[in-house]
Structure formats: structure tokens, C-alpha cells
Structure 1
Amino acid sequence: MSDRLLEAVTAGVRTVDLGRQLRVGMPQSPNHPQFWHTLPRRHGDMTRSDGGSAANDMITTGTHVGTHIDALAHVSHEGKMHGGVNAAEAGVGGKYVELGVHTIAPMIRRGILLDIPAVRGTERLEGGDEITVDDLESACAAQGVEVSAGDVVLIRSGWAQLFDEGQPYVGGPSGVPGVGEPGAQWLASREVHAAGADTIAFERLAPGGGHALLPAHRVLLVESGIYIIEALDLEELARTRTYEFTFVLVPLNIFGATGSPVRPLAVVSA
């Protein structure tokens, strides 16, 4: 029996890398340990008798640094995580056994890009702009796509254009654009599998407000069991107007962790 997926791959596919390169000093949320990379052994530190030498690396990082996925264990509300799991009890032993990132199955799913700046006729949304339900529905209509149950929906604000500038991407005084609670409820009502954005915290951050209030995280992670992907690079998808694709994501299989760095791919026929 022929394998249709293998046939499609053999015929040729194009991949778009949606992940950010991990670099020391890259912009990140101040709530998480920074990424650090060093070489404890360099070429020449030890040379074998045949003249060969090897270098090796060591990294330390928070699990919510760079492009990453939030496990359901990441957020609780009034002491409860998704499914009513007691957050304090679940964390005993330093591992979230029930809802840790190791419970996220590899994703090979229909992906949808909703390009909000394109709908609004601008290059990039302003800091603190809320992406409304009307914005989401207008993007669906303009792009000719319909969000279905099980999809992974990626929401572009254009804010990723500031990533290389460092702190401006984090927001701070300016705030960061993103969906609010109504937008999150719209996604939840469509039973998406995961939702992602090109920003530091997925949802709208008010100017000067930092991460003080994160209602979309509550709606998606706690109430709906929907994963969140942050700090995506969606510029190439927008440039090529690639609004529907196969989305591929595999978290690191870290037992009990609240999240994982990821390198997601959008795959389309060549």
C-alpha cells in the first residue's frame, strides 16, 4: 500500500522555519531564567595522539525562552490547573507529572496564519493594541480560511520585526499587541489544538503593565486545555501569503517541565 504522505514529501515540499535562533542576550520575558551557551572544551584544550581534537558545549536556559510552547502545567487560576488539578499538590517533588510538557504529543496538524496587520492595512500593530474578535474574523474572511477544531492558529501582529532590537520587543513601557480575553474565548470556542503568536507573551500586554494580567493564558491553558506557542517568526509566512500549511512541532521530552523551547516548521508543497 502506498503512503500518501511519503509520496507528497518525495514530490517536494517547502519548509518555513518559524523558530527563533537561540542566542545569548536575545530578548526574553524577565520572568524566566536567561539562555546561556558556553564551550567548556575548545579545540586544542585536549589533543589526541593522532592529532584529533573535539569541542563541546554546555547550555543553561529557562524553558520559556526563545520560541517555546507552554504546557498546561504553566498556569493555574485560584489554585487549580487545567481539569481542576490542584496546582500546589501537583508540584510536590518539583515535577508536574500530569500536565508537564512531556504530555504534549508531537504535532503534525493543519496550521493557519491570521495576518492581522494585513487586514488593518499596516506593517505592524502598535504596542498595547488588542487584537479583537473582529480582527480574527476579518483575517479569516480576507484570507479565505476557516478555523476548525484541532487546528494550530498562528496570529501575526508584526511585532516580531522588533526582535533584533532587544528590549523594544519585550515591550515594557510600550506594551505589546495581542489578543485579549475575547480573542482567546473565540479561539477556545473553535476548539483549536494550540495557538501561537509572534510576541513575547502571546496576548496583549498593556503599556507599562508587563505581565501583571494574562487572561488569555487562563482561558486557553487552564479553562480550555489549549497550548500556547510564543515568540514565533511569522514574517516569511506573511510575505509569501502562506495562510494554510502543515504545522510540525515537537517539544523536548522534559519530564514534568512547564514548557519547552521548540523549532516549529510550516510545510507546504513545493
Structure 2
Amino acid sequence: MPQSPNHPAYWHTLPRRHGDRVRADGGSAANDMLVMGTHVGTHIDALAHVSHNGRLFGGADARAAGEGGFYRDHGVHTIAPMVCRGVLLDVPAALGTEVCEPGYEITVADLETTERLQGTPVERGDAVLIRSGWGRRFDAPDRDTFIGHDSGVPGVGEAGAQWLAGRGVHAAGADSIAFERLAPGAGHSSLPAHRVLLVESGVYIVETLDLEEIAAQKVHEFTFVLSPLPLFGATGSPVRPLAVVAGPAAEDGRG
């Protein structure tokens, strides 16, 4: 799968396959081994993930916080399971397009227009998921398309992150590899939204979300469910977040 060049790759292998060892009664078992970074695929960023000027959220010394090889106070194990109101802000739909342009910065005006047109005002404690349409690029034949180093990736910038923090959201997510806007050719050289949310505001970030199905069904408000793996002291965790909805989308098993 496409992934950020900043993190160890996902690797899966079968150290034992069916038939490698067969019991006397004919039974056999297969097992797996995974090697991966905690920021690969759909995942959540813990507050330990980003520092600024040597400080983590709350002013903690970033170097001292990681002594011993783990982050006791800011690690992903400190994130409680989330069951809260979720809001999908489908920005391309509000702008009258299918996908935001590469490198496009989703502005505060875009966010406010989207919540107004959808009738889903963002409230304190929400998990706000911002669709740019970039998730459609995840399965592109060329993995670099989704990563978007040369083309850029759409997303919020510093102003959009400040808007989210000002609304008091609990978590913010997007359908792109770094949550925020990546300028064409710049890669991950500057991530101001991470600073605003993780370091300054204590807002968790969820990246590489699949938002296409709920967007197609125009599901803009739902119960958001997410529980990270309690990896003690880790800077993030792979997750499988769910949008729990009532009505037809739930009845056909897609809720």
C-alpha cells in the first residue's frame, strides 16, 4: 500500500503455511508475522508523535518524555476508546467537484460552507472527518500518486487546523496520507496543522481514512467509534474506525 516515506514499511509473511506441519489427525495451521510502523495505513497519531521547539503537548520536554524508549504520558495507550459524534465534512461536494486539486488548501471558508450546506455544525467533542476526495488515489497503480510528493496533496492548512481546535474537536481525520495540505514538491517538509492540533491543542489526528462510501451515501453525521491498540508508549496505532449509522445504510450491513 502507499505509505509515508517517514515510517517503516508494512511487511506481512507466513512463517508457517498449511502443510508445513501436519498433525497425526490430518489437522494443520497457518500463522502470520507483521512488521510495520504504527503510522501505516489508517492510523491515529498520539500526542507523542510531534514536538515543536523541543516540547510536546502541555509543555513537556520531548527528549525527556521519551527516556527509556517509550512515551509514558503521551503514548497511544493514553488515548481512551472513542464513542462520540462524528461529522463528515465533504468538501468537494460543497465546492461542486469530485476531488480537490492536488496541493489545494482547504480553507476555513470551505469548512464553514460545507458544514452550513450539510446542516452539520461542528461541536465540542466531535470527531471531524474531512473528505478531500484524495482517498480515491489510494488504489492508484502508481503508489506515488497517493503520496503526492511531486503533485501535492489537498488538505487543511494552519488556519483550518486552528478552526478545528477552536471548535474544541476531540479528533480530526482525513482521507490523505498526512491529514494536512502538502505543497507540490515539498513532501512532509512543513506540517503546521500537526503542530496546531497535536502540540498546541491536544487534538488527535487520524490519517488515511476511507471516506468514499459514507460520502456516496451522504452520511454526514454518525456515531464515531475508534479504539487504538494500547501499545504502551507508542507514537501511534493502526485503527479501524467505524461510522455507526441508522437507516438503510445500517440495514444492508454497511453501517
TM-score range, shorter chain: over 0.9
**Correspondence for 2:250:** none
Aligned twin of 1:203: 180
For 2:134, give the aligned amino acid: W
Equivalent AA in structure 2 for residue 264 of structure 1: P
1:41 and 2:16 matched? yes
Q: 1:132 and 2:117 equivalent?
A: no
Q: Structure 2 residue aligned with 1:52, among 12, 27, 47?
A: 27
Distance 1:269 1:224 in 2: 32
Query: Within 1, Cα distance between the matches of 2:64 and 2:230?
Result: 22
Residue 62 of structure 1 corresponds to which residue in structure 2? 37
Question: What letter corresponds to residue 127 of structure 2 in structure 1?
Answer: V
Deviations along 1:114-169, one digit per CA (max 9) or x if unpaired, are 00100111110111100000000000000001111000000000001110012100
In the alignment, which residue of structure 2 is the partner of 1:22?
none
2:220 to 219, 243, 253: 243
Number of residue equivalences: 245
SS at match of 1:73: coil
Equivalence map 1:39-188=2 (5 Å): 39-165=14-140, 166-188=143-165
> What is the rounded CA distance, in whole Å, between the counterparts of 1:132 and 1:87 in structure 2?
31
Cα deviation digits, residues 172-223 of structure 1 (max 9, x gap): 1000000000000000000100000000000000000000000000000000
Q: CA deviation at 1:254?
A: 0.2
State the AA in 1 paired with 2:237. Answer: S
CA distance in 1, matches of 2:165, 2:30: 47
Letter in 1 for 2:170: H
In the alignment, the residues of structure 2 paired with residue 73 and residue 209 of structure 1 have an alpha-carbon distance, to the nearest angstrom, of: 24
TM-superposed CA distance for 1:89, in Å, is 0.4
Alignment partner of 1:267 out of 241, 244, 247: 244
In 2: Cα distance, 1:27 partner to 1:184 partner: 25
1: CA distance between counterparts of 2:165 and 2:183? 22
Q: 1:235 is matched by which residue type in structure 2?
A: E
Aligned partners of 2:159 and 2:14: how far apart in 1?
46
> What is the RMSD of the two structures over their aligned residues, measured on CA atoms?
0.5
2:208 to 218, 225, 231: 231
Write out per-residue CA displacement over residues 45-75 of structure 1, whole angstroms, 9 at most, x where no aligned residue: 1011111100000001000000000000000
* SS of residue paired to 1:218: helix
Runs of 4+ off more than 4 Å:
none
SS of corresponding position for 2:92: helix
Matched residue type, 2:197: L
Query: Helix, strand or coil for the counterpart of 2:41?
Result: coil
Q: Distance in 1 between matches of 2:229 and 2:186?
A: 31
Rounded to whole Å, the distance in 2 between the matches of 1:207 and 1:43 is: 47
In structure 1, what is the Cα distance between the partners aligned to 2:223 and 2:94? 23
Aligned to 1:194: 171
Do structure 1's residue 222 and structure 2's residue 228 form an aligned pair? no
User: Structure 1: 5+ residue runs without aligned partners?
Assistant: 1-25
User: What is the DSSP-based 3-state SS (H/G/I as helix, E as strand, rest coil) of the residue aligned with 1:174?
Assistant: coil
TM (norm. structure 1) is: 0.90
Q: Secondary structure at the match of 2:14?
A: strand
Aligned-partner SS, 1:43: coil
Q: Secondary structure at the match of 1:238?
A: helix
> 1:69-111: per-residue Cα shift (whole Å, max 9, x none)?
0000000000000000100001111100000000000000000
